[in-house]
Structure 1
Amino acid sequence: MSHKPHKPREIFIQGITLSGRTFRPSDWAERLAGALSSFRPGGVQHGAHAHIGYSPYCVPRVIDGVKCVIVNEALRSIEPMAWDFVMNFARDNELQVVEACLLPDPPKS
């Protein structure tokens, strides 16, 4: 009996409140993802590889015109406090949260 490796889910924190309003400030997604930018596979990078960028576990995106932060569930086991920080941010600001998996863009014909 073979098992496929478990692919971590992704949590989409949407920039729309539970009451349907657009969340402000407009750069909230970049700020939140930036706060978690040091959580990377292999830890914090030093030297020439220490460029500024987002963690692959927490990235800002615009999906169908809505700002989102996509949080990979792997962050929960890598750094539970960072996971709690992001989930508490969403809860405290009454943001819509959806569990999903980001699919790649279909091939262009």
Structure 2
Amino acid sequence: MTIEQTTTQTQNEIIIEGNTRAGKPFRPSDWVDRMCSTYATFGEDRKLKYSPYLKPRVVNGVRCLAVDLKLKVVNPEGYAQLMHFADENQLNVLDASGNSIAVPH
């Protein structure tokens, strides 16, 4: 799987950074891949395909997880678990403008 290098995002997504609110890198360092794999499915070609609602990203040199807010409608329980994970681990969450926000629930 590849990581998309970007500093832009859409109005319909939030970014969960791989840094804590204290500015320290979150460990394990492969948490983004683990999260994407949790929501992935196997396609007809028997290859693992990431959910269209979760995308690994690198923003300003930091590994991040882009979360499409449609996930809240399509999979409310999964969205709630993801937000709980971000909150419990004190991960920094960014809105569409790149501003740090409280973890949405």
User: Does the CA contact (< 8 Å) of 2:55 and 2:66 recur in 1?
Assistant: yes
Q: Flag the structure with larger Rg.
A: 1
Cα offset, 1:101, TM superposition? 6.9
- Residue 49 of structure 2 corresponds to 53
How far apart, CA to CA, are the structure 1 residues paired with 2:40 and 2:67? 12
**Match 1:64 to one of 60, 65, 77:** 60
Unaligned runs of 5+ in 1: 1-6, 39-43, 103-109
C-alpha RMSD over aligned residues: 2.1
Percent identity over the alignment is 37
- Find the counterpart in structure 1 of residue 72 from structure 2: 76
Runs of 4+ in structure 1 over 6 Å off: none
- 1:88 and 1:60 mapped to 2: Cα distance? 18
Alpha-carbon distance in structure 1 between the residues aligned to 2:47 and 2:95: 30
Q: TM-score, normalised by structure 2?
A: 0.76
Unmatched runs of 5 consecutive residues or more in structure 2: 1-9, 99-105
Provide the aligned length of Structure 1 versus Structure 2: 89
TM (normalized to structure 1)? 0.73
